[in-house]
Amino acid sequence: METNSVRCLTNSLSRFIHLMSCQTWKSMPTQYLKSMAALLKHLKPLLDDIDDEKIDSYSNLWKACENLDKSVNAAGDFIERWSPKRSKILSVLQTEQLLTKIRSSSLEICGILCRLLRTSSGSSGLAGVQVCTEIMHCVQELQSWDTERISKHIEQALKSKNEELVSCNEHLAEIVGSLGLVSNEELLTESIAVEKERMKVESSKSNEEMDQINQIVDLLDLIRQYTLKSGLSGSMNGVTIPVYFRCPLSLDFMSDPVIVASGTTFERSSIQKWLENGLKVCPKTRQYLSHINLIPNYTVKALIANWLDDNNLKSPDGSEIDKVNQEETSQTDNFSSQDIIRTDSFRCSVHSSDSMSRSSLEAVDVGGPSLSEEVSSSTCRSIEHSYTHSRSHSAASVLSSSDIISEGTLLSTSKVGKGSLDDYSRAISLRSADSGYDETTTSVHVDELVQNLKSPSNALQNAAALELRLLAKHNMENRVIIGKCGAVGPLVSLLRSDAKVTQEHAVTALLNLSLNEENKAMIALTGVIEPLVHVLKSGSDAAKENSAATLFSLSLLEDYKSKIGRSGAVRALVNLLGRGTSRGRKDAATALFNLSICHDNKAPIVKAGAVKYLVQLLDPSKGMVDKSVALLANLSTIPEGRLAIAREKGIPLLVEIVDVGSQRGKENAASVLLQLCLNSSKFCTLVLEEGAVPPLVALSQSGTPRAKEKAQQLLSHFRNQREGTSKKRS
């Protein structure tokens, strides 16, 4: 039996060596195993020369041979099943595990053979000098075999991440270079392969294997971060591509950005490859995708078009980004040009018609979560820096769009380059009483203002808050200096000031400071939500407006949608929506829309009475039809929202919007009606009674692609309902 173990091993070695000699793949796993096969060639003759009697008398030898035989056969099976489409990282890890076992067993066998040689000096088979030399040569080869493998770099990279060490770039560089993950295409292919492996392991319910796959998923995220930071393939004609214009899955430049059900934006071609492979989770958030519809992200598309234009670049595929959308955008966007001029940088404005509204106020899809774009923090940073006019003035002193255009200083906000931003700031300053605040301040001066904020004198507090508000209005450097000098905490404290003017200056200063990402995070950490809610309830009209705007700005931070939703902000915003100034209602609608992207916030928004006011704002004379119907589209995805829409008699108005509204309004109104009809036969009857069929037929032929889809779904549902009724009667 023992003799057979050694003979089985020699046969296995022969098959393995032959198998590896036939391999033509130049991938890392194959090369690793080929190098080991070359080493095993030295071991096989030594085993062939062993006397059967010696094998039987040395139990450790046949046990070691059995272990090596299993490992060699496993390596052979692995290479026969392996495909270049498999994950490179996983393949290398599995290969190295096999090689470690083969090397360990081989060294053990050589050690046993050395001991046999010493105890059998009289035997001509093992006592010869030549055999001794061959064994020692084999041992040296195995010991010197390169053990600095990719798995060690992977282990160190993950360890650095888990322990939050400063850098693991050296390890990541080694992984990327060794595995050939330099190109975006290779990174996308690897991501898809890893997710396929994860699905297989998930079905097998192996916790150990699942832990390994999850670590590889984390590693791919580290590789993407490393690739972005190191600037690999990150420029066009020498111009660095902003991080937020690159697909979070493939890192490709996003010439056609689309939104998936999780609310994350990807390059269409990249996410399509992902979905075509049957993958059902979002590559970024790891959430299960309830549907695979891809919604164009007009905000990011417009930003990219502006960036290309400002840098005299063309899209890599040669297409004219956003040109096909501009005519439709000018007709259907949800915000007017005057809204743009009267709002802050966080409004994410890039066109005079506010192209952000196209993605921010998207219709929701039936049967799934809101398809509205949940703007990522990186995209918002881009948007925030693309438009520097902050809303430092009260409603009485802010310029209208006609004021700006009549000056001839700036004809369009669609240019987001530095020069045009400076021109815009100068245009505002020329018409403002505070034009001297464009200059960069100093830390010493800001320190004095911070001390005045803490003064018991309300006059000093008021003057300091006003000056900080104005210093942070246009100048980004001032925002950084003010944040670093510790002004945020004292400004938050002044939100509870009994002096309404001081309160207004403080909340507007915080709004302007929040345009800097570090300041925004700092403001959020001060527990600012409750003080902002206090301003919403008790402040002046301008303070309420800017408090709502600040809440919107903070809601762009990860996790803050739910935190704001759990506070008393929702009810206060709904009150502003119903009873505020025209501008206050718009600010409240914008903030509530962004909060409604978080599913948990939808029911509280409905419970607070938002639907009643939104239905009232469907009146065209209010100037908020598109914004209101977009928020209703989000709220209609829950039963409470649908019931409230019907109870507040919103159905007739929605049918009217489908008939005579803007293109975007028609799309969102059709989405609401579809939600109502699919979930209630009673609501379906009400929709039909309002004469919805003719406008839906027209929309199915002439609307936007999504509007056509919604209209066709509704008409099909009506037919099915009618046919079902006919069958029952017959």
Query: Does residue 6 carry a pLDDT above 90?
Result: no
Tokens 């921010």, residue?
Answer: 360
Q: Which of 48-52, 203-207, 379-383, 457-461 has the highest mean pLDDT?
A: 457-461
- Cα–Cα dist 600/207, whole Å: 31
Provide Rg for the chain, Cα atoms: 33
pLDDT of residue 375: 33
Residues sharing a CB contact under 8 Å with residue 460, sequence separation 6 or more, in sequence order: 452
Confidence of residue 118 (pLDDT cuts 50, 70, 90): low
Could you tell me what percent of the chain has a pLDDT over 70? 72
Confidence of residue 307 (pLDDT cuts 50, 70, 90): confident
Query: Does residue 146 carry a pLDDT above 70?
Result: no
Residues in the chain: 730
Per residue in 618-643, pLDDT (tens digit) is 999 888 999 999 999 999 999 999 99
Amino acid at 492: V
What tokens appear for 422 in the block?
A: 């400076």
- Cα–Cα dist 500/682, whole Å: 49
Confidence of residue 129 (pLDDT cuts 50, 70, 90): low
| Average of per-residue pLDDT across 395-422 | 29
Query: Does residue 208 carry a pLDDT above 80?
Result: no
pLDDT of residue 44: 75
Packed helices 663-679 and 681-689: angle between N→C axes, nearest 10 degrees: 140
Per-residue burial over 581-605, b = 16 or more CB atoms within 10 Å of its CB, e = otherwise: eebbbbbbbbbbbbbbbbeebbbbb
Confidence of residue 558 (pLDDT cuts 50, 70, 90): low
**Residue 588: which of 601, 603, 572, 602 has the closest Cα?**
572
Per residue in 701-726, pLDDT (tens digit) is 888 888 999 999 999 988 888 776 66
Query: Does residue 525 carry a pLDDT above 70?
Result: yes
What tokens appear for 718 in the block?
A: 């009506």
Residue of higher predicted confidence among 63 and 50: 63
Query: Does residue 207 carry a pLDDT above 90?
Result: no
Rounded to whole angstroms, what are the CA distances from 152 to 93, 96, 145, 159, 320? 10, 10, 15, 10, 46
Confidence of residue 559 (pLDDT cuts 50, 70, 90): confident
Query: Does residue 456 carry a pLDDT above 60?
Result: yes
- The CB density around residue 287, as the number of other CB atoms within 10 Å, is 15
Domains annotated on the chain, with CATH = 2-147 (no CATH), 153-298 (3.30.40.10)
| Average of per-residue pLDDT across 89-106 | 79
| Average of per-residue pLDDT across 132-150 | 69
Per-residue burial over 693-726, b = 16 or more CB atoms within 10 Å of its CB, e = otherwise: eebbeebbeebbebbbbbbbbbbebbeeeeeeee
Query: Does residue 309 carry a pLDDT above 50?
Result: yes
Q: Please calculate the CA angle 642-647-648 and round it to the nearest 5 degrees.
A: 100
Confidence of residue 28 (pLDDT cuts 50, 70, 90): low
Surface-to-core class of residue 114, CB atoms within 10 Å of its CB (0-12 exposed, 13-18 middle, 19+ buried): middle
Residue of higher predicted confidence among 660 and 101: 660
Backbone angles phi, psi at 544, to 5 degrees: -60, -45
- Cα–Cα dist 210/393, whole Å: 55
Q: Please calculate the CA angle 550-582-332 and round it to the nearest 5 degrees.
A: 90
Q: Please calculate the CA angle 448-484-553 and round it to the nearest 5 degrees.
A: 110
- The CB density around residue 59, as the number of other CB atoms within 10 Å, is 10
Amino acid at 416: V
Name beta bridge partners: 296.
Answer: 258
Residue of higher predicted confidence among 437 and 105: 105
Amino acid at 578: G
What tokens appear for 200 in the block?
A: 């297989």
Q: Which of 241-250, 293-302, 330-339, 691-700 has the highest mean pLDDT?
A: 691-700
Surface-to-core class of residue 124, CB atoms within 10 Å of its CB (0-12 exposed, 13-18 middle, 19+ buried): exposed
pLDDT of residue 175: 74
| Average of per-residue pLDDT across 49-63 | 62
Half-sphere exposure at residue 320, Cβ-oriented, CA atoms within 13 angstroms: 4
Q: Which of 65-69, 389-393, 493-497 has the highest mean pLDDT?
A: 493-497
Per residue in 323-352, pLDDT (tens digit) is 333 333 322 233 332 332 233 333 333 222
| Average of per-residue pLDDT across 405-410 | 26
- Cα–Cα dist 710/221, whole Å: 36
| Average of per-residue pLDDT across 225-240 | 74
Rounded to whole angstroms, what are the CA distances from 534 to 30, 459, 571, 582? 66, 22, 12, 20
**Residue 217: which of 193, 186, 185, 183 has the closest Cα?**
193
| Average of per-residue pLDDT across 415-438 | 37
Report CA 192 to chain centroid distance, whole Å: 17
Least confident span in 414-423, 650-659, 706-715:
414-423
Mean per-residue pLDDT of the chain: 74
Confidence of residue 654 (pLDDT cuts 50, 70, 90): very high
Least confident span in 116-120, 181-185, 485-489:
116-120
Query: Does residue 131 carry a pLDDT above 50?
Result: yes
pLDDT of residue 417: 34
Rounded to whole angstroms, what are the CA distances from 47 to 8, 10, 13, 42, 106? 11, 7, 10, 10, 11
Name beta bridge partners: 246.
Answer: 253
The torsion of the CA quartet 310, 329, 385, 187, rounded to 10 degrees, works out to: -80
Name beta bridge partners: 240.
Answer: 235
Query: Does residue 601 carry a pLDDT above 60?
Result: yes
| Average of per-residue pLDDT across 259-275 | 89
Least confident span in 401-410, 470-479, 539-548, 654-663:
401-410
Least confident span in 24-38, 87-101, 213-227:
24-38
Query: Does residue 535 carry a pLDDT above 90?
Result: yes
